[in-house]
């Protein structure tokens, strides 16, 4: 059974997003160049030297260096010159790996986004003579809370995080932007001043070591009012119960 999800509205939409955004090319634009392995190692050394302050960022980079950037459910747009069957948007399957027509499985374990084109070119060179390959990853992030249109949004890794928020319509009038956070499962991986500073400098998804499925949550003032209302209900209920008990004594 094929592990590829090809064609259809989703694939066409992802391909169109990439093809119409030359500023988000595979190596530069948007938030800058994709991080190389050497650059990540240098950054890891710098963060390790900061002790507890750099521990969270170091853990994200260490995971990238060990496991690579790809996981099941990611999408990759591939264009191979003169090979229409190999020009499409492909889904990354469990492994992680790509299952490509004619050339079979391409393992992606340990591969960084910046290494994708070279990795695919090496694989295709076993079957094609001097292949010319273009490859662009696209990830999905969940944007929730105080934004106009919450939901999943596709983005190129070079894209600044603020641009993804703009895709979601920007902040609502009730948003508390300074308290936004980025979560991976139950773990908060970016928050507070460190996140605000990174976004203020236009840091990209790749620079923050984000991956598909990460959730950016923007608290809003209505969240606080909801908690206040709940507190008042509980307080009133407790007071009524106490007065009832006293009247029966």
Residue 41, pLDDT score: 95
Same domain, 234 and 157: no
Same domain, 190 and 171: yes
The percent helix, strand, coil of the chain (3-state, each to 5) is 40, 20, 35
pTM for this entry: 0.68
Residue 32, pLDDT score: 58
Same domain, 117 and 184: no
pLDDT digits (tens, 9 = 90+) for 136-179: 998 889 999 999 999 999 889 999 999 999 999 999 999 998 99
Same domain, 65 and 28: yes
Query: For residue 2, is it within any domain?
Result: no
pLDDT beyond 60 at 227? no
pLDDT digits (tens, 9 = 90+) for 66-92: 999 998 888 999 999 999 999 999 999
pLDDT digits (tens, 9 = 90+) for 94-124: 989 999 998 999 999 999 999 999 999 999 9
Query: For residue 247, is it within any domain?
Result: yes
- What total number of domains does the chain contain? 3
DSSP 173-232: TTB-GGG-EEEETTEEEEEHHHHHHHHHTT-BTTTTT--TT-EEEE-BHHHHHHHHHHHH
**Residue 37's domain is classified under what CATH number?**
3.30.1950.10
pLDDT beyond 50 at 185? yes
Structural domain boundaries, residue 31: 8-137
Query: For residue 1, is it within any domain?
Result: no
Same domain, 128 and 151: no
């Amino acid at each position: 059974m094929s592990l590829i999800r090809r064609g259809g509205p989703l694939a066409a939409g992802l391909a169109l997003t990439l093809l119409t955004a030359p500023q988000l090319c595979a190596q530069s634009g948007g938030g800058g160049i994709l991080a190389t392995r050497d650059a990540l190692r240098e950054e890891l050394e710098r963060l390790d030297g900061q002790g507890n302050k750099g521990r969270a960022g170091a853990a994200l980079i260490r995971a990238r260096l060990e496991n690579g950037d790809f996981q099941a459910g990611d999408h990759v747009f591939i264009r191979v010159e003169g090979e229409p069957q190999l020009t499409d948007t492909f889904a990354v399957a469990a492994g992680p790996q790509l299952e490509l027509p004619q050339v079979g499985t391409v393992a992606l374990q340990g591969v960084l986004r910046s290494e994708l084109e070279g990795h695919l070119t090496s694989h295709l060179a076993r079957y094609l003579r001097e292949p010319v390959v273009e490859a662009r990853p696209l990830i999905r992030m969940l944007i929730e809370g105080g934004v106009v249109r919450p939901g999943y949004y596709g983005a190129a890794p070079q894209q600044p995080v603020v641009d993804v928020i703009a895709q979601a319509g920007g902040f609502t009038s009730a948003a508390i932007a300074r308290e936004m956070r980025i979560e991976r499962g139950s773990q908060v991986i970016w928050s507070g001043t460190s996140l605000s500073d990174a976004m203020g400098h236009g840091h990209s998804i790749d620079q923050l070591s984000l991956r598909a499925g990460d959730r950016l949550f923007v608290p809003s003032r209505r969240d606080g009012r909801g908690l206040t209302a709940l507190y008042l209900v509980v307080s009133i209920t407790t007071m009524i119960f106490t007065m009832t008990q006293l009247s029966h004594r």
